[in-house]
Structure 1
């Protein structure tokens, strides 16, 4: 039976939790990376493997090795662990910029590197990188430092797409605006009920991850407000 396997980080909250549940409902087997592993209530048939994962600790090779030993394959990566510190590029301290780069850029790059051979072996490997509309434009001073890292996340998606194309690997940057999560609610007064629901992002990932190699989407931009470009 051809049951594909996805690794999802940040899977215990926010967008990552909804993506994991949606992929599970689609029939995927999952390896869930969480700082504090906790089996989801919806995993009623043991299709989820849990791994204690901290995006700052360089654990990606160990995670990939353990997941591959469990399932014998890896078909997709959805690294949802993220960090947002709302400061301008002037006010942000060096260690704050480094912390965001570590989680938003370097960790997903390490995960892709660690899983590259299994993704190639799949013949239709998928990497869905949660970017942000902050990776497409800088809307305010206080989003500047975060936007710097998310521009790098979007660039990473394009770089992985280029590197993996001939091996059947397709990478997509998912770029939402405000999504109704605790992270977004902590940095804006925009009404939560007017933000994009995380289940909508999960449904988009479910669509994109299942597209054939001949229907590649490099970027998927999602917004809850009208902007000139997005």
Structure 2
């Protein structure tokens, strides 16, 4: 489980652990002190923009648990900027963490997922931005569209071996990632920060509220049940009506 330090990732770790899963949480820095004590399982600090970091995530899970039944690729960040000003290093970093990391995790975990007793499962936390675009988010939107294509490909390649692959595509979720966008969105749109939530972030939602991290975790948990096994090669869209327009 990558991006486990907060937000959606932490909610998924807690929910899977409550359901009886043994979970390795992976984030850029391993938690320390009181935060580490609240985690329900082992954790790893790893730079998932590198091949070595993704390999370490898979290897560490195998060392702890002896097998690997599920990979959840969730780590990410956002960068808001017009294309003309979009920092090229941030573009590279976005694609590395949002698209290349899921590919590497799947590649390194593939043989273990193939050997999973009940069939291996790969879940990418994509976004409504895997299905639609927004201005000033060229890197994020491009990477999320790419990860949906990756999920479809993994589903086809893994079908004969019982490996399913699914992209969970939420709209805006109440996370630190969304909160950190507010100042950048205000600058990009030329409005005050206190207007961003209503006039920018929630504008595409037909239902005008943020999704809670626990709601995303519930969907991921459902996908691990027998009833969720038919969801492969497809987006599971939970976007408050965003893409219904």
TM-score, scaled relative to structure 1:
0.87
SS in 1 for 2:29: coil
Q: CA-to-partner distance for each residue in 1:95-115, whole Å, 9 max, x for gaps?
A: 221110000000111111111
Q: State the partner residue of 1:87.
A: 81
Whose strand proportion is higher, 1 or 2?
Answer: 1
Give 1:179 shift: 0.3
Q: State the partner residue of 1:5.
A: none
Equivalent of residue 153 in structure 1, options 147, 152, 156: 147
Q: CA-to-partner distance for each residue in 1:137-185, whole Å, 9 max, x for gaps?
A: 113x212332111101111111111111111110101111110011112
Q: State the partner residue of 2:128.
A: 133
Q: State the partner residue of 2:166.
A: 172
Instruction: Judge conservation of contact 2:58–2:109 (CA < 8 Å) in 1.
Output: yes
Q: State the partner residue of 1:221.
A: 237
Moved more, 28-37 or 185-194: 185-194
Which ranges in structure 1 are unaligned for 5 or more consecutive residues?
1-7
Which ranges in structure 2 are unaligned for 5 or more consecutive residues?
183-195, 203-207
Instruction: Judge conservation of contact 1:128–1:209 (CA < 8 Å) in 2.
Output: no
RMSD over aligned Cα atoms: 2.0
Q: State the partner residue of 2:57.
A: 63
Instruction: Judge conservation of contact 2:173–2:211 (CA < 8 Å) in 1.
Output: yes
- Give the number of aligned pairs: 217
SS in 2 for 1:30: coil
TM-score, scaled relative to structure 2:
0.82
Asked which structure has the greater CA Rg, the reply is 2
Give 1:228 shift: 5.4
